[in-house]
Amino acid sequence: MQLLHQLKKYYPGFLFLLIIVLLCPSVIAQNSFNLRGSVSTRQGELLPGANVVLQELNKGAISNIEGQFEIKSVPEGSYQIMVSCIGFQKLVKTVTVNQVNPLSLDLVLTEENYKIGDVVVTGKSATRRVIEQAYQVASVSTKELFNSTADAKAVMNRIPGVRIQEEGGLGSVFNFTLNGFSGNQVKFFMDGIPMDNFGSLNLGDMPVNMIERIDVYKGVVPVWLGTDALGGAVNIVTGQKNNYFDASYSVGSFNTHRASVNGAYTNPKNGFTVRGNLFYNYSDNDYKVWARIVENNTVTDTAWVRRFHDRYRSASLKLETGFVNQHFADNLLLGILLSGNDKEVQHGATMNTVYGAITRNNWSLIPTLRYKKKDLLAEGLDVSLYSAVNIGQSQVIDTLSGYRYNWTGERFPVTTSDGQASNNAEFYRTYSTLDESEFNTQANFGYALSTRSSLAFNYAINYFHRKAFDTEHPDNIDNHFPKSLTKQVLGLAYKFDLNKKWSTTVFGKLFHIKAKTSKEFDFALETQRTEAVENKQFNLGYGLATTWFVFPELQLKLSYEHTSRMPMPEEIFGDGLFVGSNPDLGPEQSHNLNLGAEYYFRTNDKNRFALGGSFVYRDAKDLIYTVVTVSSPKTHFDNLSKTRVMGLEGNFLYEWNNLFHLGGNITFQDITDRAKMIYNESYTGTGWQQNFHYGFRLPNKPYLFANLNAGFTIDNFLKKDNAFKLNYYLNFVEEYFLTWAELGTSNSKYVIPRQFSNDIELAYSLKKGKYNISAECRNLFDVKLYDKYYLQKPGRSFSLKLRYTI
């Protein structure tokens, strides 16, 4: 019995070992003198799954996960070789095969068309590019969106499993959800640098023109990102080209202006490079909402009114300079990112509270350094290093005294019967400033042990420091203590290919945090005091990702990770006001499993299809939530809850002759509460109570949503080298409950109704895309859209975008 117990305890570990043993590489060598080569993109990234056909022989091959292909027994002669890969322009060229000197071909494909798929193409070293291969990742190229006014947020909202719940228009607060995980459980990166504390640069700010690609890793995160994500990670890859220029300006409804300038120059001789991205966003967000008008504590009307205090501005400048493709470095770049925004706050968490003077602002200054070198010191040893310092400040200002606003924008003085003006602020009087500094460094090493196996090692360190001050409440004791967190992540991955069809990566991660904070002891007793405390903790993560090309068109993927998310500073330290600190807080943990299949096929030269589906399983425990203490106004965070996610995702893409494409995806996720007990500091003597929601689906989270897009591209429209494009997007979210569906009578429930939103884009490009003009309409049918509570998003809007590229 004891043994059984022990076994149970170590069961995950045993299972893991077993899998490693079973999958150990038994190398099978193959030799042949035939037509070989590689398929790559113009950026030099090797392409797996490309179709290579010798047309005369009707004979072909599919490139493997390293982009290599081989066609056996090709007789001497001259052939038309045709290479195709979904998302790339077809390539046809003549090759001559001579059996005495086996030919090696380097075939380069040009990207085309917007696509959502599970194809990973990254600019990492060869070793690690392959390591990433088996992960469940959605990668979206933004290339075809460059003429739209979309931003990073809008691009991601079209990815299966991703749902972005927005509160309003440009610059509004939003909640990113990936397979049911949200907030700190999903980590964001820009070019591999953590964005956790980039308060001043959010996904809604970044125009598509500065982004090359967005990779969304679902549940299982490769070690090279060096992070502790519970539900996955997102890496935003900005422009990587060596020479280009892209400038655009758009103007739209609600006085929205967005401008961006992006470019890079590289000296071909000495490799000196300068690259930069600059953008500016502005919107009044004065769209109409259906709101209650309150005067003198009485509801006088419900009417369509314009939002009057929701202006948002943001700007960012990113500059990098250094050298590329030199003997000492593939790239060595020193950069700086400067960004800032300010926002007027129109309402609270619901539209019942309306504000007319509360504002927020952020700025940050982030110097960066990156270095990358393949084959450093020894062949097969690849090294890369990222380093960034983040100095940032954010403010919340609520200092308007003695006035209240209603939805008409009118303000009313709050005075007492004897004529005194109130000194109350609109919500909570504050002029608080958070000064945050952060230091991040990540080093990645990849080493190819053989042609079929490699090792990758990652070390990341993150130091975070926060100082808070509120000029309206200078005595706030919590603000008098420095708060810091040091987080280190070690990752080791071993990748091996059983054969050309099957690649597997196993990995382990080690997390360590050291938090310093203050804690209040013995409240209400004579010994009451606040003392500085320190907290250190370790945690382990491990996982596996494997992919198998059953046959060249069909790829299967399986990935699993036992993930952890270490607590964030604000969870350990509290907000300094009503959220107390909990230095005993441990990590959130989850078992994440993905099972996916991708099928690419073509019926002839013109019809191309891609079909994909995946099953998503998440079993999360120790989730960090607020402890409820009803008899007290203060709360804190603790490891309390458990949830389970069972999801299904499907996607398809159809392309016809580079002229028409139709794509879509659907996500169903059943997120249920799995905690049998809940804890609160009230009600019962033990603090524990039955969780009456056990097994119920979590409310306020969409569980069924879908996206559809269709488009035409007509090349050489009206004139040679001019192109016309029409794109249509449909977004669907099924009705969901704001409160538990199982409780209460069904007719009195609070629901977010079923929603369809339709967007349409027209673009015309001249001179091979040098000059572009585009027009778009969002929310075409002007329907009421909501994501959170009843916060209305913009109605129908129009915009016009001009873009110039070299």
Question: For residues 722-761, which are near other proteins according to CB under 8 A?
Answer: 728, 730, 732, 734, 738-746, 748-750, 754, 756, 758, 760
- Among residues 20, 278, 338, 675, which is the contact residue for other proteins, using CB under 8 A? 675
524 binds other proteins (CB under 8 A): yes
User: Strands 186-190 and 232-238, how do they pair?
Assistant: parallel
Judged by CB, which is closer to other proteins: 268, or 633? 633
Nearer to other proteins, 77 or 183 (CB): 183
Q: Which amino acid is at 683?
A: Y
Q: What is d(CA 215, CA 120) in angstroms, rounded to the nearest whole number?
A: 8
Q: How far apart are CA 653 and CA 664, in angstroms?
A: 7
- Contacts of other proteins in 470-499 (CB under 8 A): 473, 475-477
Counting contacts by CB under 8 A, is residue 668 touching other proteins?
Answer: yes
- Classify the C-alpha dihedral 127-131-132-134 as positive or negative: positive
* Residue 640 binds other proteins (CB under 8 A): yes
685 is an interface residue for other proteins by CB under 8 A: yes
Q: What angle do CA 331, 336, 342 make, to 5 degrees?
A: 145
CB nearer to other proteins: pick between 564 and 691 = 691
> Of 447 and 740, which CB lies nearer to other proteins in the complex structure?
740
Burial per residue of 409-422, b for 16 or more beta-carbon CB atoms within 10 angstroms, e otherwise? eeeeeeeeeeeeee
Question: Residue 23 belongs to what H/E stretch?
Answer: helix 2-23
Minimum distance, C-beta of residue 784 to other proteins, in the bound complex (Å) = 16
Residue number, 220 or 671, with CB nearest to other proteins: 671
CA-CA distance, 451 to 126, in Å (whole number)?
11
> Which of 652, 670, 773, 775 forms a contact with other proteins (CB under 8 A)?
670
Q: Please report the DSSP string for 330-367 in residue order.
A: EEEEEEEEEEEEEEE--BSSSTTSB-SS-EEEEEEEEE
Stretch that binds other proteins, among 104-112, 155-163, 289-297, 318-326 (CB under 8 A): 289-297
CB 773 within 8 A of CB 802: yes
**CB 642, min distance to other proteins, A:** 8
The least distance separating other proteins from the CB of residue 302, rounded to whole angstroms, comes to 10
Q: Which of 2, 31, 94, 296 binds other proteins (CB under 8 A)?
A: 296
Which helix (H) or strand (E) covers residue 128, if one does? helix 126-131
Q: Nearer Cβ to other proteins, position 533 or 704?
A: 704
Contact call for residue 688 and other proteins (CB under 8 A): yes
Among 26, 30, 603, 686, binds other proteins (CB under 8 A): 686
Least separation in angstroms between residue 307's CB and other proteins is 17
Interface size with other proteins, residues (CB under 8 A): 95
Residue 263, number of CB atoms within 10 A of its CB: 18
Cβ closest to other proteins, residue 85 vs residue 653:
653
> Please, which of residues 389-408 interact with other proteins by CB under 8 A?
404
Contact (Cβ atoms closer than 8 angstroms) between residue 557 and residue 596: yes
What Å distances lie between residue 598 and 215, 608, 707, CA to CA? Answer: 17, 14, 18
Residue whose CB is less far from other proteins, 22 or 525 = 525
3-state DSSP assignment of residue 326: strand
Closer by beta carbon to other proteins, 80 or else 684:
684
Instruction: State residue 746 phi and psi, 5-degree precision.
Output: -65, -25
Tokens of 443: 């080093």
Cα–Cα distance measured from residue 742 to residue 756, given in angstroms and rounded to the nearest whole number? 25
Q: Provide, rounded to whole angstroms, the least separation between the CB of residue 685 and other proteins.
A: 6
Residues 46 and 65: their CA atoms lie apart, in Å, by 8
297 binds other proteins (CB under 8 A): yes
**For residue 572, what is the DSSP state?**
H
Interface region with other proteins, contact rule CB under 8 A, candidates 261-269, 338-346, 537-545, 633-641? 633-641
Give me the least distance between CB of 406 and other proteins, in Å please: 9
Pick 378 or 524: Cβ nearer other proteins: 524
Rounded to a whole number of angstroms, the minimum distance from the CB of residue 159 to other proteins is 17
Subset of 147-176 contacting other proteins (CB under 8 A)? none
693 lies in the site for other proteins, by CB under 8 A: yes
User: Which of 50, 203, 515, 627 contacts other proteins by CB under 8 A?
Assistant: 627
Of the two residues 2 and 748, which places its CB atom closer to other proteins in the complex?
A: 748
Query: Nearer to other proteins by C-beta: 341 or 635?
Result: 635
Residue 87 DSSP SS3: coil
Instruction: Give least dist CB 478 to other proteins, A.
Output: 9
Decide: is 678 part of the binding site for other proteins (CB under 8 A): yes
Smallest gap from residue 306 Cβ to other proteins (A): 20
Min dist. Cβ of residue 449 to other proteins (A): 45
CB-wise, 99 or 175, nearer to other proteins? 175
Burial of 474 (0-12, 13-18, 19+ CB in 10 A): exposed
Binding mask 771-790 for other proteins (x = CB under 8 A): ------------------x-
**Residues numbered 706-725 forming contacts with other proteins, rule: CB under 8 A:** 706, 708
At closest approach, how far in Å is the CB of 745 from other proteins? 6
Output 281 or 430, the one with its CB closest to other proteins: 430
Distance CA 312, CA 175 (A): 18
Least distance (Å) between residue 645 CB and other proteins: 14
* CA dist., res. 453 & res. 494, Å (int): 7
Largest CA distance in the chain: 105
- Secondary structure (3-state) at 552: coil
Distance between CA atoms of residues 446 and 129, nearest Å: 10
SS (H, E, C) 649-675: EEEEEEEECCCEEEEEEEEEEEEEECC
Angstrom distance (rounded) from CA 270 to CA 152: 34
Please report, as residue ranges, which positions from 325 to 364 form the binding site for other proteins (by CB under 8 A): 348-350, 352-353
Cβ neighbors of 771 (< 8 A, separation 6 or more) are 765, 803, 804
368 vs 517 by CB, closer to other proteins:
517
Alpha carbons 175 and 188: distance in angstroms, whole number: 13
Q: Which stretch, 188-196, 205-213, 214-222, 634-642, contacts other proteins (CB under 8 A)?
A: 634-642
Do residues 702 and 696 make contact, with C-beta atoms less than 8 angstroms apart? no
